């Protein structure tokens, strides 16, 4: 499978009760080629995008994307990470 057609999604519940959806997949944007190799991570609270940034992952790295999503989820739920791009950037930039 590929992140191109099958993005990874996890949901974190923060200490204050908010639910944050973590999506890791190939960027879907009308301004970017459909053949894009760019894998992004996005944090959503309902319909609001809290953070969006590119990762170092390749579209074929399903298990690595799942590990990244779970690591972000654990950090958000423990309070070690805030749901911002600045907080998750170091994780998204680490090769897996």
Q: In this predicted structure, what is the pLDDT of residue 1?
A: 61
Give pLDDT tens digits for 1-16.
678 778 999 999 999 9
Average pLDDT, integer, range 63-83: 97
Domain that holds residue 69: 8-89
Q: Classify residue 24: in a domain, yes or no.
A: yes
Q: Is the pLDDT of residue 81 over 60?
A: yes
For residue 58, the Cα-to-chain-centroid distance in whole angstroms is 13
Which of 22, 25, 39, 24 lies closest to 76 in space, CA to CA? 22
Judge contact between 41 and 88, C-beta under 8 A. Answer: yes
Residue 3 lies inside a defined structural domain of this protein? no
> Is residue 94 domain-resident?
no
What is the pLDDT, as a whole number, of residue 38? 86
Domain for residue 2, yes or no? no
pLDDT digits 0-9 by tens, 20-67? 999 999 876 655 555 668 899 999 999 999 999 999 999 999 999 999
Give the chain's domain count.
Answer: 1
DSSP state, residue 36: -
């Amino acid at each position: 499978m590929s992140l191109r057609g099958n993005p990874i999604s996890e949901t974190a519940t923060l200490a204050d009760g908010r639910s944050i959806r973590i999506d890791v997949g190939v960027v879907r944007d009308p301004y970017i080629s459909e053949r894009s190799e760019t894998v992004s991570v996005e944090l959503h609270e309902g319909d609001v995008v809290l953070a969006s940034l590119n990762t170092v992952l390749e579209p074929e790295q399903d298990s690595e994307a799942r590990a990244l999503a779970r690591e972000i989820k654990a950090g958000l739920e423990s309070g070690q990470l805030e749901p911002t791009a600045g907080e998750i950037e170091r994780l998204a930039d680490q090769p897996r």
